[in-house]
């Protein structure tokens, strides 16, 4: 399914109103996607885990609220409101929510030089 969106106009979203049923596991919603980037709202309920995986794209994580632990390339990074993390393409990572966790995940194209 192609979820590319084209917009020549600026827009805003209230992120908290975009979350549906965040008390049950993992919720994700693509807020905007174009040829370069994808912006996804990601919500994890308390004690939810996402096992180790990797992405072929660069990623950033912006913690909006809640707390948890990101394991990135074997290093544990505490997540709390206001934390920003850059993850290079193909970096193994896993996620655990210690409390309800709301993140903005941005995926961007990885170009080899």
Residue 12 or residue 22, greater confidence: 12
Helix (H) / strand (E) element for 34: namely: none
Confidence of residue 78 (pLDDT cuts 50, 70, 90): very high
Residue 85 or residue 5, greater confidence: 85
Going through the chain in order, the beta strands assigned E by DSSP cover 26-33, 37-44, 49-53, 58-65, 67-72, 75-80, 84-87, 93-97, 101-108
What residue segments make up the domains of the chain, in order of their start? Answer: 24-108
What pLDDT sits at residue 1?
41
70: nearest Cα among 50, 47, 90: 50
Report the predicted TM-score, pTM, of the whole model to 2 decimal places. 0.86
What is the β-pairing status of strands 84-87 and 58-65? antiparallel
Report how far residue 86's alpha carbon sits from residue 68's, in angstroms, rounded to the nearest whole number: 16
Tell me which of 3.80.10.10, 3.20.20.70, 2.60.120.10, 3.60.15.10 is the CATH number of domain 24-108. Answer: 2.60.120.10
């Amino acid at each position: 399914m192609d979820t590319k969106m084209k917009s020549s106009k600026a827009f805003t979203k209230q992120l908290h109103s975009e979350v549906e049923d965040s008390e049950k596991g993992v919720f994700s919603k693509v807020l905007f996607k174009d040829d370069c980037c994808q912006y996804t709202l990601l919500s994890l309920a308390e004690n939810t885990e996402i096992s180790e995986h990797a992405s072929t794209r660069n990623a950033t994580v912006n913690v909006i609220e809640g707390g948890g632990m990101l394991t990135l390339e074997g290093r544990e990074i505490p997540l709390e409101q206001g934390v920003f993390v850059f993850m290079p393409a193909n970096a193994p990572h896993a996620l655990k929510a210690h409390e309800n966790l709301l993140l903005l995940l941005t995926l961007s194209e990885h170009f080899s030089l």
